[in-house]
Amino acid sequence: MAKQTAPVKKNETITLTFEDLTHEGNGVGKVDGYPLFVPYGLPGEEATVKVVKVNKNFGYGKLLEVKEKSKDRVEPPCNVFYQCGGCQLQHMSYDLQLEMKRNQVKNVMKKIAHLEHVPVHPTIGMKDPWRYRNKVQIPVGERDGELITGFYRMRSHDIIDDMETCVIQDEVNDRSVHAVRRIANQLGIEAYDEKSDRGVLRHIMVRTGRETNETMIVLVTRTKKLPHQEEFIRQLTETFPHVKSIVHNINDRRTNVILGRKTKVIWGEEYIYDTIGDIKFAISARSFYQVNPYQTKVLYEKALEVANINENDVVIDAYCGIGTISLFLAQKAKRVYGVEVVQDAINDAKNNAKLNDITNVEFVVGEAEKVMPEWKNEGLDPDVIVVDPPRKGCEPEFLEAMIEMEPKRIVYVSCNPSTLARDLRILEDGGYETKEVQPVDMFPQTNHIEAVCWLERKLSS
């Protein structure tokens, strides 16, 4: 039998019409049934494309020229969009972004979960899908004797040095980074060089409380001391009177990890504060805190709505982090139990409960799949379990433990549609019925999507 070959060759230039989008936002066109994935292509467009990679069943192309533009093609407001890669979707209208993300969820519900009958509602987006991020971590480099700051070019560690702003970051973060760079330049502080493992300033991190306007600036250095520390602090606080905290983090390892093990406050407070709804949160340099507080409120309100909790309900919040969802749930429930594997996060959760005078919560450090069977043996009988796992989804042992506890309802908050669909199939087979899925756009201009899913225990026949 003759070996089948692709109908296109590498480096060939072709005309292609895009029919669809991948979950990453790439355009999909076909040549004699052979799919080509092309970044920045939009459905309905005809374009000139260079074939850059050919596999057995599909290939990749580079967009050279759009001959017929889609009505959903827009001009990216970011001048480094095509270099950076931090955002993937600025070239498409926001309506198409929301539709693409809904379709991504619908596709995995059909192909992985085999639950195409379950309603997937239109994606809840933002009125203004820009300037939403309250945290920036930006590398520092050097060019022609001057410090530069900017994100890395796609698939490299080469800093884009003409990047003066990031259109999805809070403008305060932009201005704070510029001020740190200017002061460090003036004081002669060297940038860290990862090739030689020499130099001083590695990263600048800025966190902002969206509701409080409080700002924390974190300076990450290779060295144990920050050169000219007192002068640095003086100039920075004079430039930005709203700065509440300046933190020095020491990272002396050859690593891509941004923060090192040792963190010390060199000026101001250990925490800044922010609120989501009626709940106040203390945020340290290391705290996990959602980067889009506007949509976090939307997401958690939806989770609370479908959880349908009353004052007699006992709730477990697995993967509870710093207690964000737990404290929302505690406003309605009789009692909430939170479990999380990271000790620092549990410490933050306990502090946040005290900060809000919420006493009907209990936080435990440990692996949820091990803690929950212990709770069951102790007689804990939850009415509702809420899960918000990392991208890899839930561990099989955890899903089994959840099924064994037989809560009336499960609310699954997901940041990865594929692992959500995989886990829903297991929960369905374990006696639960998926009622609906609500996508929420937490990260406009990027290909990431969050979703809230509601399941109920099937009644025994």
Q: Which residues are catalytic?
A: 415
CA dist list (Å): 435 to 25, 65, 99, 420, 453: 28, 44, 21, 14, 8
Give residues with Cβ within 8 angstroms of 305, minimum separation 6: none
Calpha distance 134→169 (Å, rounded): 7
Of 443, 445, 449, which is closest to residue 133 (Cα–Cα)? 443
Residue with token string 């009505």: 71
- Residue 443 has what DSSP assignment? S
Residue 427 DSSP SS3: helix
Calpha distance 303→400 (Å, rounded): 22
90 phi, psi to nearest 5 deg? -65, -15
- For residue 48, what are its two tokens? 């000139």
| 113 contacts 428 by C-beta, under 8 angstroms | yes
Residue with token string 């800025």: 206
Dihedral sign, Cα of residue 97, residue 213, residue 244, residue 340:
negative
| 96 contacts 122 by C-beta, under 8 angstroms | no
Give the distance between the most distant pair of CA atoms in the chain.
77
- Assign 3-state DSSP to the chain and report helix, strand, coil percentages, each to 5: 25, 30, 45
Calpha distance 105→452 (Å, rounded): 11
Query: What distance, in Å, lies between the first and last C-alpha atoms of the chain?
Result: 54
Give residues with Cβ within 8 angstroms of 357, minimum separation 6: none
